[in-house]
Amino acid sequence: MKKLLKQIMYGAGQYARDNLSRWMKQGINPLCFADVDPQKFHTFIEGLEILPLDEALRLYPDAKICITVAQQNVKEIYNYLLNRGVGGVIDFPDDVFIGKSCSRLQSNYVNFFTDSLSACCMVLRPKISCSDNLRKDLISLNQLCKKIRDKLNTGEGTSCDGCPEIRDDIWLDSPTYHFDFATGFKGDLCNFRCSYCTYQQTLVKKLNVDISVLEIIEQLSDIIADTADVTICFANGETTINKDFDKTIEIILNRNWKLILDTNATVLPVNIERFANNILWILSSVDAGTAETFYKIKGVNCYDRVVKKLNSYHKLGVKCILKYILLPEINDNEDDILGFAELANSINASVIITSDSAKRHTRLSNRAIEVAKQLFSSCTEHGLRVMYSNDCFNEKDYALLKYEGGY
C-alpha cells in the first residue's frame, strides 16, 4: 500500500472522482485538487476544494503533486507540470510504468477463448493455454504480459512486435479487471445471420467446449477479491437470449461488477431496470439506416424493432454505442448513411465506423474511404462522438481517415 502524504491532486475530472475513495483507502491523503479549468475553481470533490495550481502551491508549498487524470491525458499533464517547473514533486496515486507498452499489457485485460486466455484480440496477441485452474491461468497471463512489456523495452523479440498499439508513454497501473467473452461457449446463441459474421459458423459447428460463460463467471466470482473493480464484456453471440443470462446477471449484481453488453438489441432483458445502472454501455452493430439494408445484412427483418429497443435502452439512461461496418455496394449509399446518423442522433449514441472483419486490414477502395468520411461528418454534424476503429482498417487507410478529421 502506498503511503503518500500531503498531496495536491492535479486533475479534477471524472477519473479523479471515480477513483478518489479507492486512493484514500490506500493511504493517500489529499489536501486539495488543482486543475486548469477555471469553471471548476472553488468547487469541491468529496469536500476537497479545486484550486488553480499556483494557489494550491502557495497554500501547500511542501506538497507533492499527484497526477489524477485518465491514461490518455497523463503524458500531456506530466509535460505541462514539468514546463511549469514542478518536476521534482510529481507523483502518481497508482504505480506507473514509463516506456514502451500498450493499454492491454498494462491492465488486467483477459479475453476468454474456448481453449486459451489472451491479453487482447489482435492477431499477435499474447496468450496462454487454459488449464483446469483459472486462478493460476490468470496469474500466468499477467506474468506473460509483464515479461513482454519488459522485453519490448530491452529490444528482445516478442509476440507483440509490429503491433500498432505499442507506444512510449506513462502507463497507469489499473487495478481494474476487464473480462471479455467474445467467442462461442456452451449454450451461446445468436438470432441474427449477419453476412460478415464468422461467429455464427463457430456456433453452428458446436465446438467441443464443455464450459459455459455462467460457469466461468461463477469461478471468477470465487477468485476475484471483493475490493477489485471488475468489468465483464459480453460479446459471445446474442447474450440476452442465452438461457443462463438472468443467473449470470445475478452474480454480476451481487458483486456490483460493471457490464458491457454487445447486443443486437432485438431483446430488452425483462430485468433490465435492475441492472441498467451497472451497464457502462451497450454496443450494437446496426450497419444500416434503412429497414431494407438492415434485412440484407442481418438476414432478419426487424430494423424497427431494433430502433425501438435502442430507444428503450436510451430512456433507461444506458449509454449506446452504434457501430457501422462499411460493406461496399450494400450500405455505402446516402439513405443508409443519413438514416443511421439520424438514429444515432435520436439516442445520443457514440458511433464507431469500421470495415469488414472478414477482410481485416485490406485496403479500402476510394469510394469506401469517401463513404467513411461522409458518415463521419453526418454524425459529427449532429454533435455526436465518432471514431474510426483501428481493429479492421488497413493501417494506411486508418492513418488517412484519422488525419482527415477522425480520432
Residues engaged in binding ligand SF4 (CB under 6 A): 102, 104-105, 119-120, 122, 124-126, 160, 163, 165-166
Cα torsion for 155, 159, 164, 166, to the nearest 10°? -50
Question: 258 pairs with which residues across the strands?
Answer: 231
Identity of the residue, 160 or 230, whose beta carbon is nearer to ligand SF4 in the bound complex: 160
Nearest to 324 by CA among 212, 157, 196: 196
- The vertex-202 CA angle with 135 and 116, nearest 5°, equals 20
Identity of the residue, 40 or 104, whose beta carbon is nearer to ligand SF4 in the bound complex: 104
d(CA 76, CA 299): 47
Identity of the residue, 93 or 126, whose beta carbon is nearer to ligand SF4 in the bound complex: 126
Can you tell me which residue has the cell 479500402?
364
**What is the SS3 string spanning 195-246?**
CCCCHHHHHHHCCCCCCCHHHHHHHHHHHCCCCCEEEEEECCCCHHHCCCHH
Identity of the residue, 82 or 124, whose beta carbon is nearer to ligand SF4 in the bound complex: 124
Identity of the residue, 122 or 372, whose beta carbon is nearer to ligand SF4 in the bound complex: 122
Can you tell me which residue has the cell 468547487?
43
d(CA 296, CA 303): 11
Q: Is there a contact between 141 and 110 (Cβ–Cβ < 8 Å)?
A: yes
Which run of H or E residues covers position 90? strand 90-91
Identity of the residue, 120 or 302, whose beta carbon is nearer to ligand SF4 in the bound complex: 120
Minimum CB separation of residue 2 from ligand SF4 in Å reads 26
Minimum CB separation of residue 49 from ligand SF4 in Å reads 39
Identity of the residue, 260 or 344, whose beta carbon is nearer to ligand SF4 in the bound complex: 260
d(CA 23, CA 66): 11
Minimum CB separation of residue 72 from ligand SF4 in Å reads 15
Q: Is there a contact between 213 and 266 (Cβ–Cβ < 8 Å)?
A: no
Residues belonging to the chain:
407
Identity of the residue, 103 or 191, whose beta carbon is nearer to ligand SF4 in the bound complex: 103
Q: How far is CA 354 from CA 9, 25, 250, 315, 389, in A?
A: 38, 41, 33, 27, 5
Can you tell me which residue has the cell 475490493?
227
Minimum CB separation of residue 125 from ligand SF4 in Å reads 5
Minimum CB separation of residue 158 from ligand SF4 in Å reads 8
Minimum CB separation of residue 103 from ligand SF4 in Å reads 7
Identity of the residue, 166 or 276, whose beta carbon is nearer to ligand SF4 in the bound complex: 166
**The C-alpha cell that represents 76 in the structure block:** 500531456
Minimum CB separation of residue 165 from ligand SF4 in Å reads 4
At 312, give phi and psi (nearest 5°): -65, -45
Minimum CB separation of residue 224 from ligand SF4 in Å reads 21
Minimum CB separation of residue 210 from ligand SF4 in Å reads 28
At 367, give phi and psi (nearest 5°): -60, -45
Number of Cβ within 10 Å of residue 106's Cβ equals: 20
Edge-to-edge strand ranges of the sheet holding 386-388:
127-129, 116-118, 108-112, 176-181, 229-234, 258-262, 279-285, 320-326, 350-355, 386-388
